[in-house]
Each structure stands twice: as structure tokens, then as C-alpha cells.
Structure 1
């Protein structure tokens, strides 16, 4: 038995959306998990309902733990606080599994399908998603004359001002795909219910600038952030059709409305990608059965962790759909997504944000994915392959809670 002795949560005020979970066992091992958004709500679930049940159990029984945590009496609806808490615990248990056996998680999952995987750069800035509110204030904002780039990778400012130059910069670093969201700012006027022709033309301009600057040398994804009604989304997707867009992501406001999503898909030639916002394999099965998407995206910190993630990957394979793990949130989620992308047969991309890779992700964890020529290399270290830096828990703005008997108080 590998008995769980302690569950610890760590938050820092500087990154209010992030929460980390450390699970300690009587073997002297520590597993690391993470989730994002509503960190204090996730913390409450972990300490009030999860930890009292989990501490004392066998950390090797990952499937049994997952089935229990992913079927709460209340709270199982997409990526609820309960599901996000279950996701963080699951990632930590898989980290323990790999560390216990001295192998990377992708090997524990059944082995690698590839030694590296293509990345695309989500063109966010250094502070993207750093707030606690949803909507334009969370990072999906207009870029005004007063906005000044905080560094060479402030890519959201770049794609709104000169998307062609940004595409050239990415190609120079080896990235062959990019994702932008210039249409977000058009949604506020109508609450996403409609988009006028002038608004559509303005939102399409960055895509046109990319094609004018670099032609077909880079793939371009359109992120729509679940901001639009179905009819507005249809108009946008049809407007994107002649620009060679790789996919339109999360085009409608209710991505769990699979019939409406399937209806949209039938009315456009642009491939549809969905959805990081879903939780649990059942939702993905229903989405695929409805014929609603061309690409499957999942976030391991929101969908139930690697246990649900590998089931979703198996569904994608069974329905012959490519898989693309999400990351625009935290470093542990990124490296967990990479582990799944290396393992899953139909995975084609791992999302990255070069701005965060170059800055604050490095301030939080010991190791990050190695990217060479736009390709993320398979991790080789045991477990997930990264740990929180010791100084994170020593920060003045750190909030640490423990349940059980830690190996060493405070970690």
C-alpha cells in the first residue's frame, strides 16, 4: 500500500486563479497537481469534502479515486469546482505513479506514440488570464493606443497591431502555428448576439495581414472564446472560410449544446474545435456522437485529470478525431497535457504560450517542456517531470492549508 498521509493546497495572491495540490504518501513521495479558475472555491472543495475522504487511502488506486471524485452527489456539471478539485488530485496521483516506478507519466499511461509533438503559440501576453473575472477584463480586451508591449512576447498587443509581423516572429523561432482572437472585442456591443458586416471585416483583418505577410507558411487558429450566439458564430465562421483557418475554437456561448454546435458545423467549411470547457468523458462522447466537432480539445485541470483525459483521448481515437491538449493557465497543466499528447495516438498539437514559458511559469516550477524548432520533446523525468520551486511556498502572499500528517510541516 502507498498510504496518503497529507493533502496540501497552495495559492499565491499574485496568481489568484491558480491552485496547486501536493499529496504526500508514507513512501516519502510527493505528487503535484494543479487547477485554474475559482481557486478559493476549489480549495474549499478539497479541504471540506475531498481530503477527509482521501487521506488514509491507497494512492495507487487512481481509477477508484477518480470514479468517486468525478461522481459527486452535487456539482458534476462541466468543469465545476468539484471537477476541478478532482482534476488536481488526479494529476497528483499520476505524478506519484510515475515517481514510484521511476518513469514519466506518458510511459505509465501505456507508452509514447511519438518522441515529440508540434506546438502552436497562443498569442497571449504576459499577464493574460491573470485576473479573476471572466470576459474582456480577464485578458480578452481591446488594444488601445495607450497599451505598451511589456516585452518581445506581448503577442496579444502584437496580433491586434501587426499580425503579419507577429507571424514572421513566430516562424523565426520555429513555430508553425498560431492562435489569435481579434473578434472578441466585437462581442461586447450585442452581448454576442450579432456581428455587423463592418465589425466582421475589422475582426478578419489580422488574419488577412498574416496571409499577406507569410502566405501559407503558418497555420492559424481562430479562438472565439464561447462569446457568440449560433447565428453570429455562423457568420463569423463563414467569413473565415477563404482564409485557410485551421480551426474555429469554441464558437458558441454554450459549448455543451451539441445539437446547436453540430448545426453550425454543417453550415461552414471551417473546421470546429471544442472544448476545453467540458468536464468528464461522457460530455465528450455526447459531443462526438452529435458530430459537433472536427478537433477535440481538453484541459486536464478541468476535465477530470489524466484518468478522464486518457478516456477522452480514446474516444477521439474511436471517432477518428485529432486531439489537442489546452494550456493557457498554469505550468503543471501544460506539462501534464504534454504527457498525454506524447501518449495519445491521435494527438496533433500541444498548446503553449511563449510569453508565459519565458517568464512567470519559470518562477513557479523546476522544469518546463523543452521545445526545439516548434516541437515539444517527450519528458524523460519520473512522474509529470516538474515540481513547485521551494520558494513558492515561502512567499509572503502564499496561502497554504494542510489536511493530515505532512512529511514535513509546511512541505
Structure 2
């Protein structure tokens, strides 16, 4: 079997989502995805990677992965080179599963459990749907499109959101009420009034449901170290499960200082690319929970290596999902195949909402757990309607 064509697809409406389809002479097609800067990633796929892919055996995944990242500018980041390689790699694993007639989680070693616990990231229906990525707390805030407008919910009615999640069996949620003061003050300081306001959602959740709800705190790398430590101390009485990306993920030493300053776990980081960046964090005891975004860090090939490395440091693994539907599916396959997976991120406004507009199958989430995907490969394809969209851009490079 040989790769005969590389196809990319993107739309004006979902402008940051890029799909890659790997065509072969056996008529099998592998589907991959990445997110953010879709036009730039598209250019790299066709102008740089296509020549390294066409005519090759798509099942030589490790060799192809090495060649895609054996470039002077591909240096352990989540830049264009890694995002492009991630999308291609996911597509190759989809192909591998289809060739063998098995789900990707089976190709990665098989199920480690029959169901996987999830938490709900409290985004809204249009959180990352549009072209412009504005400050995270205001991404389409207030544009309700259904019952799970959880961004507006946690900002204003965190107790009601927690109760709603528990009713559906989901016992963990992630929120980011500290983003507004971070943006207002450029992450340099937080006033007493701002601190009190940002803590309100935690007070509401604990008052309404007690300790039945786990709370993960997302900081989006917006704070300097002293302020991040101050916020951590203020939040400790509310017993959060983890603090995620409190500072920029470019200083393992600074993150290690932060980790030593609090009893709450540190989670890092969707923003890291390749296992080498994670090793720097792990060697310094800077992180307790290893989070990976498979669409950014190098795909399934790199993601499983990071999970395995985390296990050697006795650290749990927690795949990221707050981007596109194919990435979510890939993360679920990886979660099931890794023995140290703690929990899988999910967004109910996405998997009950816009994900269904784009792919044929989304993972089933029931009673707070995600179930394994069925069918060969990833187990999902682009909806036929995607190919008929008037805002669709398709680029194809073939032999």
C-alpha cells in the first residue's frame, strides 16, 4: 500500500479546524485533524510534508513521524510543524486500524478499562467555533445555543452547573474564573476585590454540592509566578483537584517552584510539544498530572510515548480536548489504551452540539464515563454535508 494523495479541508465557519485526509492506492483513506492557524498548517502540509509522504507505505508510522519532525524548525513546540505532523499522524493511525479492521485503541495495545471517567470543561457552544480567538472568558459569551451554555453558567451560576452535571453522572468540572482579572491586569497582579469575585464560583459549588464535585482550575498560562502562588493559596480551602497551566509553560524551574508552594496538584500542559518538553517538567517535579493535546504535540505516536514516560515518573495521564471532534475521538482512543489515564477531558456543549455537525460518530458519554469507540480506525468520518459546504476550502497534492 502506498500514499497517493494528501488532502486538506477547512471551512470559514470552523476556521481554526483543519482536517487531513491521507489517500492510498487501496482506496482506504485516513482522517486526521489539528486546530488553530489552519491556513498556515495547510501550507506546511502541502509545501513541506507532502513530498515526504507521497509514495510511502502509510503503515511505517514511526519512520514517517520521525521524518516529519526531522526539520530544523521543528523543535519541540506546538507550532505549525508539530500541528501539521499531528494531523498526519492521527490519519495514519486511522488508516492502520482500517487496514487491520480494528479500532485505534486496539492498535495501541487494547483496552485498559471498559469505561473511562470524564470531566466537563465548562465551555459554551460557540467557545472555539469562530475565526477570531478572543480572550478566553469572552469567546461568544452570552450567545446561548442550547441547555449546556456552561461558560456563562460557571461565570454566573456555578452552583446550577455543578448540580446539572451531577444529575448526568459527571462528578468533575473545569472552570477559569481568574481569566478576566488576568486580562485586565496583564497577569501582573490581582486586587483583593478581583480575587474575591473570582472565588465566588468555588464558594457556590461547595455550598450547593459539597465535595461531590471535583473542580479543576484552568489558568491558561496568564499569570506571573508570585501572583499565581497567591491565587493558589487562596483557592486551597476549596480543595481543587488540580491547577492547570498557572504560568507560561516555558520555565520548568518556575513551575517547579509553583508546585512546591501548594498542596494542590499541578497539571501541565496542552501547550507542550513532544516528549522532550515534558521530560524537562518531570525531571524537576514541576507537574503531577501530564496533560497532552494529541493535535498539537505530535499525534498518537508522540502522545503514547509521553503517557508512557509519565508512568515511569508515577504520574497520571489526562488527554486534553477543547478543540475539534476528530481530536476528541483520538484522545478517547489514547485514554483507553494507556494504563495511567486518570480522566478524559470532554465538553458537553461540543459533543452534544457542533461536533455532530462535522463527524458521523462522537464518543458515547454515559453516567460520567466515556465508552470505547467502535468500528475500525478512529471509528468516525467527516459528515457528507461537510463536503458540500459553500465555505469549504479543499487542497490536494498527489503524485
Q: Identify whether the pair has TM-score above 0.5, normalized to the shorter chain.
A: yes
Distance 2:112 2:60 in 1: 25
Deviations 1:311-356 (A, max 9, x none): 0010111011111100000000001000010010100111111011
Q: How big is the shift at 1:77?
A: 4.2
Name the counterpart of 1:18.
17
In the other structure, the counterpart of 1:219 is: 214
SS where residue 33 of structure 2 aligns? strand
Match status 1:141 vs 2:138: yes
**What residue number does 1:96 align with?**
95
For 1:357 and 1:320, locate their aligned partners in 2 and report how far apart those are by CA, in whole Å: 31
In 2, distance between residues paired with 1:284 and 1:148? 37
Report if aligned partners of 2:76, 2:276 keep a CA contact under 8 Å in 1: no
Give per-residue Cα distances to partners, 1:187-240, cap 9 Å, x unaligned.
122210111222111111101100000001111101101111111111111111
On the 8 A contact 2:128/2:139 being kept in 1, the answer is no
| In the alignment, structure 1 residue 305 sits paired with structure 2 residue 305 | no
Q: Does 1:249 align with 2:244?
A: yes
- Counterpart of 1:399 in structure 2 is 393
Contact 2:52 2:68 in 1 (8 A): no
1:8 alignment partner, SS class: strand
* Equivalent position of 1:109 in the other structure: 108
Please give the secondary structure, in 2, of the residue aligned with 1:339: helix
Which residue number corresponds to residue 168 of structure 2?
173
Contact 1:238 1:269 in 2 (8 A): no
The structure 2 residue matched to 1:379, chosen from 373, 379, 389, is 373
Indicate yes or no: 2:349 matched with 1:328.
no
Partner SS state of residue 137, structure 2? coil
What's the CA shift string for 1:104-130, capped at 9, x where partnerless?
Answer: 111101111111100100000000023
Instruction: State the partner residue of 2:81.
Output: 82
| Alignment partner of 1:155 is 2:150 | yes
Alpha-carbon distance between aligned partners in 2 of 1:135 and 1:292, rounded to the nearest angstrom: 29
Structure 1 CA distance for aligned equivalents of residues 389 and 15 of structure 2: 14
RMSD of Structure 2 on Structure 1 (CA): 1.3
Report the Cα offset of residue 133 of structure 1.
Answer: 4.2
The answer to whether the 8 A contact 1:240-1:270 is kept is: no
3-state SS in 1 of match to 2:138: coil
Pair 1:208 & 2:203 matched:
yes
Distance 2:349 2:250 in 1: 30
Distance 1:267 1:196 in 2: 20
Residues matched between the structures, number:
399
Please state how far the C-alpha of 1:390 moved relative to its aligned partner.
1.6
Could you list the per-position Cα deviations for residues 386-407 of structure 1 after superposition, in whole angstroms to 9, with x for gaps in the alignment?
A: 11112102110000000116xx
Distance 1:44 1:280 in 2: 21
What is the DSSP-based 3-state SS (H/G/I as helix, E as strand, rest coil) of the residue aligned with 2:212? coil
Contact 2:359 2:380 in 1 (8 A): yes
Alignment partner for residue 337 of structure 1, among 331, 341, 344? 331
Match 2:281 to one of 264, 272, 287: 287
Write out per-residue CA displacement over residues 56-103 of structure 1, whole angstroms, 9 at most, x where no aligned residue: 111010000111112311142410100000000000000000000011
Q: Any unmatched runs of 5+ in structure 1?
A: 406-411
Q: CA deviation at 1:134?
A: 4.5
Gaps of 5+ in 2: none
> Does the aligned pair in 2 maintain the 1:11–1:400 contact within 8 Å?
yes
Which residue number corresponds to residue 188 of structure 2?
A: 193
Aligned in 2, Cα 1:315/1:95: closer, same or farther, shift over 3 Å? Answer: same
